[in-house]
């Protein structure tokens, strides 16, 4: 397995997020990736490398130009409002809800923060753009390696995560959608039908929205029931795609407290859908926040279960790209993620 490492990830290090009505230290911290990297050094499952330059044209095919322009300059704008802001994270505080206009780009910075976001739990910091952009480069490089045939599988070892980011919005700790960029890279590399199978605890709402009307990319997500679990407003079973994408989206919501037997059965349904779709390559947004000790999730998987997840994913027999997503029981993140990768390669 090729592992493409984002050495710039620590430049995104949020101080606080809004969580359950109060400001708390960020759950999505640089330590998450550091624990995973340390575990990979203990249990090598592949060759670790760094990405080359990012294809800007590809980035603009997944995310809108005005959104990318905002992200690239947001920190400088934030500090220009008040030099003291350099010691603070930027968090959105207003949003255009139903009936409000989103087509007009406001001049006000706070208004644009709200226009391009969907929660107050994703702090924008001095290095967010640098880290997210390099993470996108990792996902693209991983997919390019798989598409070229130089490796059968690759892992984008990066943060911030990506599967909640849509065409023109950030949230859920995500700014650029690494899984979507990997899927598009595989399509451009010659695979006519690509599947994204998201195993994070939280629904991959950004990935779903990006591909919802496309028939060449199947999106499947196993996740906590959105009636009780973040991100709440997408992820229901009746969301099946539209237009050319009708029938190309499958959501498998599961109740709080779901154990591995039921979760694995849902994974089997997802893999059956991947086979039915005729996918030629697979992208796996790998979140390990399904773990029983995760502080913001509510499934009960144990560390040993992740070996079986890797084996089940390998049973698809497809060229595969993994992107690193959630998992906030920091001490166990590395163990659980590497267990998946080790199981996949066994």
Assessment of whether the complete model's pTM goes beyond 0.85: yes
Q: How far is CA 10 from CA 14, 97, 128, 276, in A?
A: 10, 33, 9, 40
With vertex at residue 36, the alpha carbon angle to CA 16 and CA 198, rounded to the nearest 5 degrees, is 80
Condensed to tens digits (0 to 9), the pLDDT of residues 301-336 reads 999 999 999 999 999 999 999 999 999 999 999 999
**What whole-number distance in Å separates Cα of residue 34 and Cα of residue 23?**
24
**What whole-number distance in Å separates Cα of residue 123 and Cα of residue 5?**
22
Condensed to tens digits (0 to 9), the pLDDT of residues 226-237 reads 999 999 999 999
- How large is the average pLDDT for residues 230-249? 98
Tokens 């397995």 found at: 1
Whether residue 160 is preceded by a cis peptide bond, meaning omega within 30 degrees of 0, is yes
Residues with Cβ within 8 Å of 238's Cβ and at least 6 positions away in sequence, in order, are none
The CA radius of gyration of the chain, in Å to the nearest whole number, is 19
Tokens 């659980």 found at: 336
Q: Residue 117: pLDDT band by 50, 70, 90 thresholds?
A: very high
- How large is the average pLDDT for residues 157-162? 98
Q: How far is CA 72 from CA 61, 105, 120, 245, 298, in A?
A: 16, 16, 19, 31, 35
**What whole-number distance in Å separates Cα of residue 227 and Cα of residue 32?**
28
Q: Annotated catalytic sites, by residue?
A: 164
- How large is the average pLDDT for residues 163-190? 98
Condensed to tens digits (0 to 9), the pLDDT of residues 79-110 reads 999 999 999 999 999 999 999 999 999 999 99
Check residue 299 and give its pLDDT: 98
3-state percent helix, strand, coil for the chain, nearest multiple of 5: 40, 15, 45
Residue 137, helix vs strand vs coil? helix
Q: By C-alpha distance, which of 27, 46, 28, 26 is closest to 37?
A: 46
Check residue 113 and give its pLDDT: 97
- Contact predicate 133/176, CB 8 Å: yes
- How large is the average pLDDT for residues 54-80? 97
| Residue 168 burial class via C-beta count within 10 angstroms: exposed 0-12, middle 13-18, buried 19 and up | middle
Q: Residue 21: pLDDT band by 50, 70, 90 thresholds?
A: confident
Mean pLDDT of the chain: 97
- Contact predicate 63/132, CB 8 Å: no
**What whole-number distance in Å separates Cα of residue 141 and Cα of residue 311?**
24
């Amino acid at each position: 397995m090729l592992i493409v490492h984002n050495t710039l990830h620590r430049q995104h290090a949020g101080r606080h997020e809004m969580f359950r009505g109060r400001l708390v230290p960020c759950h999505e911290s640089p330590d998450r990736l550091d624990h995973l990297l340390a575990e990979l050094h203990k249990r090598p499952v592949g060759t670790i490398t760094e990405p080359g330059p990012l294809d800007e044209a590809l980035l603009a095919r997944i995310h809108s130009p005005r959104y990318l322009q905002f992200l690239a300059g947001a920190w400088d704008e934030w500090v220009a409002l008040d030099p003291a802001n350099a010691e603070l994270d930027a968090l959105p505080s207003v949003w255009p809800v139903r009936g409000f206009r989103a087509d007009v780009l406001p001049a006000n910075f706070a208004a644009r923060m709200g226009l391009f976001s969907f929660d107050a739990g994703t702090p924008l910091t001095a290095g967010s753009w640098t880290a997210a952009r390099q993470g996108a480069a990792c996902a693209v490089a991983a997919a390019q390696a798989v598409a070229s045939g130089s490796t059968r599988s690759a892992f984008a070892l990066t943060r911030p995560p990506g599967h909640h980011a849509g065409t023109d919005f950030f949230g859920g700790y995500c700014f650029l959608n690494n899984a979507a960029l990997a899927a598009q890279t595989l399509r451009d590399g010659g695979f006519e039908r690509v599947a994204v199978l998201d195993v994070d605890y939280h629904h991959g709402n950004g990935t779903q929205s990006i591909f919802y009307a496309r028939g060449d990319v199947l999106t499947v997500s196993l996740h906590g029931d959105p009636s009780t679990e973040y991100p709440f407003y997408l992820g229901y079973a009746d969301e099946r795609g539209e237009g050319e994408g009708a029938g190309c989206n499958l959501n498998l919501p599961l109740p709080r407290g779901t154990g591995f037997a039921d979760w694995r059965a849902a994974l089997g349904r997802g893999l059956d859908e991947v086979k039915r779709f005729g996918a030629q390559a697979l992208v796996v947004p790998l979140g390990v926040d399904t773990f029983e000790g995760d502080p913001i999730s509510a499934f009960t998987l144990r560390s040993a279960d992740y070996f079986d997840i890797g084996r089940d994913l390998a049973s698809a027999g497809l060229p595969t790209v993994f992107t690193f997503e959630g998992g906030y029981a920091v001490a166990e993140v590395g163990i659980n993620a590497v267990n998946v990768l080790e199981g996949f390669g066994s």
